[in-house]
Structure 1
Amino acid sequence: MKTGNGQPVLLTQWTTWAPLVAVIALVAAWGRELPGVAVAVLALCLFAAVLAAVHHAEVVAHRVGEPFGSIVLAVAVTIIEVGLIVMLMIGGGDKASTYARDTVFAAVMITCNGIVGISLLVATLRTRIAVFNAEGSGGAVAIGCTLATLTLIVPTFTTGKTGPEFTGGQLAFAAVASLLLYGLFIGVQTVRHRDYFLPVRPDGSPCGPDEHAEPPTVPQTWGSLALLLVALVGVVGNAKLISPSIERGVESAGLPSAAVGVVIALMVLLPETLAAVRAARNDRTQTSLNLAYGSAMASIGLTIPVIALASIWLSGPLILGEGPTNTVLLALTAVVSALTVVPGRATLLQGGVHLVIFAAFVFLSFSP
């Protein structure tokens, strides 16, 4: 059954029902001890919701165009991810003091190395050279590096408090600076220099809109936006429910607790990863980079202000400063990212380098 413009009716698609089923499963399983079968069902619901989220994000992106489509997915995932962090910190526990730091750092490494690396790999295997806007991507890397350094590295070296913590005033400054920088970037990306963030052809000219399908109608776009949010709730919520099983598996294998955060972050960021890979396959590398760097900036620019506000009533310390190993990995990521985006063109080599850095992060998380 189709609409007048040849597009399927939303209610008949599996992408409509998958997010709803994922949320129903989430509500049914919340606050209960889950047997192995229930964990497996939740995992299936999670991955179905991920695929549905990618579909609905692409529908919205097709309607509003770039770079707005990338922003919708990045911000939606980050808002729900922030809610998950705050909820887990309120729950307390030994890991509550470092949960925000570990989640944000994992998100930065996954997006800036994992998503960027696999996107460049897919794009260059298809066209040999991936082309994108150096101006837009370079600005995104500059803001991302500034945010990551200010919030994750500087606390290690401040002396106002013992340990890698900010004082109240320092945390407030970092929160306001993060929010302002992210807001400045969104303004530049969507208004003043929007053309810097549009996909380009090999000759440097901007790509036109997707001509293979008609844009969705306004009701379809709003429906997909609503279902995107529902799907993301299902993704993050089910990831939280199955995280105790992951944690038990990690502990039984004798692995460090940081590995749990990496696994959960990988699951939560699956929608951006799949959307970025699809864009790369369609020769729209700039869209892939918008998703990757936009998610990294949103993870910091939205998480830190919310965590700073929540710390007013949360008990216990808030440890944000990273140790030597992650500091080195972040510095390496910054240098390599700058060298990747400055030319505006990338080959298989750059994709491979980013993937090796990502592999090093994952390996060292499991074997510090």
Structure 2
Amino acid sequence: MIVGIRSLAARWTAAVPVAAVVLLALTWGRKLPGEGVALVTLILAGAVLAAVHHAEVVAHRVGEPFGSLVLAVAVTIIEVALIVTLMADGGAKSATLARDTVFAAVMITCNGVVGLSLLVASMRHGTAVFNPEGTGAALATVAPLATLSLVLPTFTTSKPGPEFSSAQLTFAAVSSLILYGLFVATQTVRHRDYFLPITRQGEVILADRHADAPSARTAGLSLGLLFLALVGVVGLAKGVSPAIESGVAAAGMQQAVVGVVIALLVLLPETIAALRSARRDRVQTSLNLALGSAMASIGLTVPAVALASVWLPGRLVLGLGPVAMVLFTLTVVVSSLTVVPGRATPLQGGVHLVLFAAYLELAVNP
């Protein structure tokens, strides 16, 4: 019976990513009717779950923190391609698309995913336990990355408006790549043990002792299917974006809400993977996913849009407004206080979730 269930799971997690890519090819660039939107949404949800499954297979094979890095970077690379595509097609209204998407990713991961992970782990196990050295290093990289790319453009004077000049944009792009590269080297080579899950006694968990690692062939197949699933997730999210835009406009909400909804869809695989790790008391893995995704979103998106701005028409507005900067500053302060002890209770999870709710509320009602 158990073998049959596993065989069924293996079949659908292989079939759904392929179906998502086929459906993406059939619907790309077309206006979808109501039935088409419903079908795309259903397949998109299946692709999200399949992506989580294959990401966990790859993570089990390569171990932490490489598994978290694979999922975060894969999602971000495809997300960057989506942003550049939308900027090329969006005209004047796409000037703030990169800013809105990156900031949405930061708030979703640093408050939504972190808050849910801490809450789930602490409610299930009493307290959420993680390594403050690794998590602190990640947060200390996210904060300057976001500040250099999203806060400074609001205050620079070389170019009118919350925009960088060409020289400033080049500096921000190069700095983002350097900081992200340094962090990845620290996470995977120099101080890998800082980013591994730990026991309640503070001992590093090197591997999952309850299951054998999948073979190299199985992990390779899952890696390919993970890529297909993520292409399907991001591409189908773009396909339903006109319906989302129509709904947002009909409700009288800001255009930035579209970016928030799409970011929520794109980040679903990481969110589910982080919550599963939190339930297993692997909170460090959850935080690696959350902060690593925020870092990758900035460190890869800003250089990509900086390069694309050379040939894309229109403005590139990166600077945040006053309300967003207040929320970002509060997020950094609260996250720092959360990280220092290396332990968290439901209180810390609730505080992050309230900040996330405030972000959503102010995105809808600025």
The corresponding residue for 1:298 is 296
Q: Segments of 4+ in structure 1 off by > 4 A?
A: 6-12
1:246–1:92 CA distance, 2 compared to 1 (3 A): closer
Deviation at 1:94, TM superposition (A): 2.8
CA distance in 2, matches of 1:75, 1:7: 31
Deviation at 1:11, TM superposition (A): 9.7
Deviation at 1:92, TM superposition (A): 2.9
TM alignment of 1:104-183, pairs within 5 A? 104-183=102-181
Deviation at 1:157, TM superposition (A): 0.3
Q: Which runs of 5+ in 1 are unaligned?
A: none
* Letter matched to residue 242 of structure 1: V
CA distance in 1, matches of 2:68, 2:219: 15
1:299–1:12 CA distance, 2 compared to 1 (3 A): closer
**Any idea what the Cα deviations from partners look like across 1:266-325, whole Å, max 9, x if unmatched?**
000000000000000000000000000000000000000111111111111110000000
Q: Is the 8 A contact 1:10 1:16 kept in 2?
A: no
Deviation at 1:212, TM superposition (A): 2.2
Deviation at 1:61, TM superposition (A): 0.2
- 2:87 equivalent to 1:89: yes
Please tell me the root mean square deviation across aligned C-alpha atoms, in Å.
1.6
Q: Is the 8 A contact 1:10 1:220 kept in 2?
A: no
* Letter matched to residue 260 of structure 2: V
The corresponding residue for 1:255 is 253
- 2:288 equivalent to 1:325: no
TM alignment of 1:40-79, pairs within 5 A? 40-79=38-77
Deviation at 1:225, TM superposition (A): 0.3
The corresponding residue for 1:233 is 231
- 2:34 equivalent to 1:36: yes
Other structure's SS at 1:166 match: coil
Deviation at 1:44, TM superposition (A): 0.4
**What's the TM-score once normalised by structure 2's chain length?**
0.98
* Letter matched to residue 135 of structure 1: E
The corresponding residue for 1:335 is 333
* Letter matched to residue 94 of structure 2: A
Other structure's SS at 1:95 match: helix
Deviation at 1:211, TM superposition (A): 2.1
CA distance in 1, matches of 2:257, 2:323: 15
* Letter matched to residue 26 of structure 1: L
CA distance in 2, matches of 1:359, 1:2: 40
CA distance in 2, matches of 1:313, 1:10: 47
CA distance in 2, matches of 1:11, 1:360: 38
Q: Which runs of 5+ in 2 are unaligned?
A: none
CA distance in 2, matches of 1:184, 1:68: 15
CA distance in 2, matches of 1:205, 1:127: 17
CA distance in 2, matches of 1:201, 1:184: 27
Other structure's SS at 1:13 match: helix
Deviation at 1:93, TM superposition (A): 2.2
Deviation at 1:256, TM superposition (A): 1.2
* Letter matched to residue 246 of structure 1: I
The corresponding residue for 1:244 is 242
Other structure's SS at 1:212 match: coil
CA distance in 2, matches of 1:235, 1:218: 25
Q: Is the 8 A contact 2:92 2:314 kept in 1?
A: no
Match of 1:205 among 203, 208, 233: 203
